[in-house]
Amino acid sequence: MILSVALIIVLGIVADRLFRLIKAPGLLGMILVGVLLGPYGLDLLDGAVLAASADLRLMALIVILLRAGLGLERRALQRAGSVAIKMSALPCLIEGSVVTLSAHLILSLPWLEAAMLGFILAAVSPAVVVPAVIRLKERGLGTAQGIPEIILAASSVDDVFAITLFTVFLGLGAGLGGSVWWQVGSIPLQVIGGVALGLLLGWLVGELLRVSTTLLRRIEQTALLLALAMVAVLLGERLRVAGLLSVMTLGFVLLERHTNTAVEIERGLDRIWFFAQIMLFVLIGAEVNVTVALQAGLLGLAVVACGLIGRTLGVLIALAGSHLSWRERLFCAIAYLPKATVQAAIGGLPLAAGIGSGVLILATAVLAILVTAPLGALGIELAAPRLLTPASAPGASDA
């Protein structure tokens, strides 16, 4: 296991540096390293690492979502307002519907199984999107218009919609029963519950920091915050609310109540993220079975492409009438393309549940990761300086 971790870190760093030298996102190199080292490549990773992969990826995701919350300023979030709400639902619902229709027509999947695939593919990847958007904030790109806040706030809720609707269709297909309308109606409850849980834990962290400022070192405060963020996810699973959304809310509350402390903790998390991102993206790559993806072939690629067109249309509808220019709306559409984390996590569930088209659904999900993770990451990197206005540039004032 130690050798596997060493290989992941060393090769991940090398790949990150090489890809950055050619002006490509470093995460692409890390994902390719994972494909190479993983069980579907050279099979050099210890089974214990692969067995712990889901938990390790989740912990890395918690780190980056916590950083995202610590960067969500209230004024910018208020400015995002209804735009963020529409961005959290419309692109997901439209993409899921388009994929359902195209999978039925192109892949000849039964409607129920086509809907499972539709909402597997409809989830955006916070693992790819959030780090890229945080880098935009650090460079001051689009910040005056609140674009990072819109994308950060909406992307985690987007996943709630996608995963919940996928679960509904999987339950129907596997004969697990349960009220469809109750499950669909629970989406707002999951979102509200996730925010409420984050607010509660944020208040608790704030109180702990207030009474222990002189007792705890900054690294200890950071560790405490990370531990509570992990508790938030576990409680979210138990209470059936959006745990990852509560992590972001937790960071937001801390920034509001203890701004200086939050800024310093965010710097510490930035250092932790250096290692966490390597584990996250390499292990995502290790989940990718290129052979399975090829089974979906050109027809699977056509379904993925239809879904991306639907998602782009959803973003443009959500941003219609907003304060954003057409260039900024185009950037938001590009930033909403990547698939990775959710597809790797749930793409194989229909197959495990004995769904007839499970192999084809998994193959298409893997194909979506291979196509959209690099496409989206590279698109964000190249489009941001061309489509977004720096905060210090003329005309970059609040709309």
pLDDT < 50 stretches in the chain:
394-395, 397-399
Interval 102-135: pLDDT, tens: 999 999 999 989 999 999 999 898 888 888 888 8
- Residue 395: its pLDDT value, please? 47
Q: Which CATH number fits domain 59-387: 1.10.10.10, 3.40.50.150, 1.20.1530.20, 1.10.3720.10?
A: 1.20.1530.20
* Global pTM value: 0.76
**Per-residue pLDDT at 180:** 59
CA 127 to centroid of chain Cα atoms: 4
Task: Dig out the tokens for 294 from the structure.
Answer: 């090829």
For the chain, the three-class secondary structure string (H helix, E strand, C coil) is: CHHHHHHHHHHHHHHHHHHHHCCCCHHHHHHHHHHHHCCCCCCCCCHHHHHCHHHHHHHHHHHHHHHHHHCCCHHHHHHHHHHHHHHHHHHHHHHHHHHHHHHHHHCCCCHHHHHHHHHHHCCCCHHHHHHHHHHHHHHCECCCCCHHHHHHHHHHHHHHHHHHHHHHHHHHHCCCCCCHHHHHHHHHHHHHHHHHHHHHHHHHHHHHHHHHCCCCCHHHHHHHHHHHHHHHHHHHHHHCCCHHHHHHHHHHHHHHHCHHHHHHHHHHHHHHHHHHHHHHHHHHHHCCCHHHHHHHHHHHHHHHHHHHHHHHHHHHHHCCCCCCCHHHHHHHHHHCCCCCHHHHHHCCHHHHCCCCCHHHHHHHHHHHHHHHHHHHHHHHHHHHHHHCCECCCCCCCCC
According to the model, what pLDDT value does residue 290 have? 81
Domain ranges of the chain: 59-387
pLDDT score of 248? 84
131 residue type, one letter? P
- Tens of pLDDT, residue by residue over 237-263, are 888 888 888 888 898 899 888 888 888
pLDDT of residue 61: 80
pLDDT of residue 308: 96
